Structure 1
């Protein structure tokens, strides 16, 4: 369970669907599901993957797939909720790999029990020489003597803008300029939007431990951005289309992966780290309890940590590798985007947590969900 602070050991959101109502029966069925997963002895066959758009490694693992007869059948994640919703109901689908944000570790591993431990002996690329210390054997992924998740990518959700239509904003508050009314977007992603809402309300230092009154204040102030926005974008694809068309010229807190896609359409989108700061995150691969191709899933995880693959995916999605050996393989622009020599400083402030599931003194996760739904309804 998360403590009342809702923070992982490194120090971003949980389910917002009613799917959590089915948690109780999951643990009983999980053990039975696990028994079916260990039959295959060598990598090969179809691999069912749930991943954020552009993060499924389908392109980067072309040679490995061909050599092992592997096909990747990917389902895109629009929101982290999409993942656990698959497993809290009866008869979860045989998904072999999925991603989780670091703040979900305790929820997925200890509470929902939807994670199968990874056999470290089959993941030689998971080692201290290859990985930055922030990602190797940290309790967020390695606990109780078991490796539950394999971190493979990290980065920021931050402010994006059309360079040809807007001077570089210095603060989220710059997007409230009257000239931008109807020209900005908010992401329907609570992982990034909730911390930003707290920050623009002057309560960022307290997030996720806000009182119910402070929660109300947060969304009252964040409503200024909603009233300024053209859309609350459902996913990166929608945001990309709106920014390429010019209907939206800035996004409050978004994934920089669309920068390259926009560039391919001759549109220049830039990212900026606003005064309030970006939202830092780390994503990990995990093997769900319903996986039925575990050997291939494990081999995939190992390949995902190969320095060459790490560099390729980091450049493709404009994010950062967990492999320190990958840094020298990045192109100059990608390598200079982040000061890897200052990674200790970058992570010193920790990663945003999630609101507590239960509390007598703070707004709970359900309180935040209700406030977020009401916020979106006012669009």
Structure 2
């Protein structure tokens, strides 16, 4: 992936962080995973119970309340704390009948081609997924549409970036600003591989190559990133930990965090702000997918269709302070949320591509996922 320098005009933003570690997949990296999988017969009509897995605040419980009532749908939602919570359901046989779950774009190949835990989507049953409604970067792109099949429905996007306390420090304009000696013991790193690994590669000068680094480049990456670890107060296990430390004043800046903490901190009387570093933020896109164990497939399709409705898109983007995939939703946003991002530059923002995860296997000398996991664990052990 090349370095991302999107032209974004953002005042403030908020949404729960969802970019956590896939540390439970070292078995997958070595090729040992997936027992026998069973599924129950699919329900043939919209209605009944729909089991979903979603990030905190992203289950559309408020935005789809009227639809659920009119369609006779009862949603049972379980929270995703880290992306590996999802695939962990499918490593052993007999997974629960989950009808819908979310995945970060970095996991598309792993879920679709390697683990094979994704059912194709019938796009004819998701009419809101159309070229007139979606920005081009989300419509029939390889991340979600491959081999003539729709595997995921992208529905919300955003980025992780620098978050800081303006009452305690000047606005940082580069990741390297957090190495100021005055910030010793006052910054935080997040235990978040899809956010932290690309940043580690960027500050080491390998951003344009990530995630395809050699083992030597991987070693150099974490040697450079160790400067930030040695500067840090903590490596936050989750956004709750990070919020607590920033609200208490122990941490003045986070290296790469979901802007959600701005909203959460504000509820506790602390004003945080975000900054887009010159090296660029880390973009992400979440998509809904139908797992192989789903048994209420018709309702899953109907749910995804509602999630892409422009009014719903505007409502959820406002609620979580992120960005809609529906271009028609932009006009429905209030001024504050519509001007956070320059939506005329969406194509430019995504021109560099989206960060993935390191390959599970490699025949050309690239460090593989398990190498990164080991390096990350050693990095954290150095705190």
Deviation (angstroms), 1:24: 5.9
1:373/1:19 CA distance change after superposition, 3 Å: same
Match of 1:215 among 197, 215, 218: 218
Q: Is the 8 A contact 2:21 2:192 kept in 1?
A: no
**2:47 is the alignment partner of 1:43:** yes
Q: Is the 8 A contact 2:144 2:153 kept in 1?
A: yes
Q: What is the aligned-residue RMSD (CA, Å)?
A: 2.0
Match of 1:378 among 369, 378, 382: 382
**2:198 is the alignment partner of 1:195:** yes
**2:181 is the alignment partner of 1:178:** yes
Q: Is the 8 A contact 1:126 1:305 kept in 2?
A: yes
TM, length-normalised to structure 1: 0.90
Show the 5 A alignment for 1:144-155: 144-155=147-158
Match of 2:36 among 9, 12, 29: 29
1:242/1:67 CA distance change after superposition, 3 Å: farther
Q: Is the 8 A contact 1:186 1:252 kept in 2?
A: yes
Aligned partner of residue 29 in structure 1, secondary structure: coil
Match of 1:362 among 360, 363, 366: 366
Unaligned runs of 5+ residues in structure 2 are: 2-18
Deviation (angstroms), 1:37: 4.3
Per the alignment, residue 23 of structure 2 pairs with 16
1:14/1:356 CA distance change after superposition, 3 Å: farther
2:237 & 2:54 partners in 1: Cα distance? 16
Per the alignment, residue 313 of structure 1 pairs with 316
Q: Which moved more, 1:64-73 or 1:161-170?
A: 64-73
Match of 2:143 among 140, 144, 163: 140
1:371/1:61 CA distance change after superposition, 3 Å: same
Q: Which moved more, 1:241-250 or 1:275-284?
A: 241-250
Aligned partner of residue 204 in structure 1, secondary structure: coil
Q: Is the 8 A contact 1:157 1:255 kept in 2?
A: yes
Deviation (angstroms), 1:287: 0.9
Paired residues in the alignment total 364
Unaligned runs of 5+ residues in structure 1 are: 6-11
Q: Is the 8 A contact 2:36 2:92 kept in 1?
A: no
Q: Is the 8 A contact 1:168 1:272 kept in 2?
A: yes
Per the alignment, residue 8 of structure 1 pairs with none
2:243 & 2:48 partners in 1: Cα distance? 35
**2:350 is the alignment partner of 1:342:** no
Per the alignment, residue 304 of structure 2 pairs with 301
After superposition, what is the alpha-carbon deviation per residue over 1:98-154, rounded to whole angstroms, capped at 9, x for unaligned? 111112212111111100111222211111111011111112111222211000011
Aligned partner of residue 154 in structure 2, secondary structure: strand
TM, length-normalised to structure 2: 0.89
1:239 & 1:67 partners in 2: Cα distance? 40
1:344 & 1:55 partners in 2: Cα distance? 25
After superposition, what is the alpha-carbon deviation per residue over 1:268-316, rounded to whole angstroms, capped at 9, x for unaligned? 1211110111011111000111122222222111111011111111122
1:246 & 1:60 partners in 2: Cα distance? 34
Aligned partner of residue 154 in structure 1, secondary structure: strand
2:378 & 2:30 partners in 1: Cα distance? 24
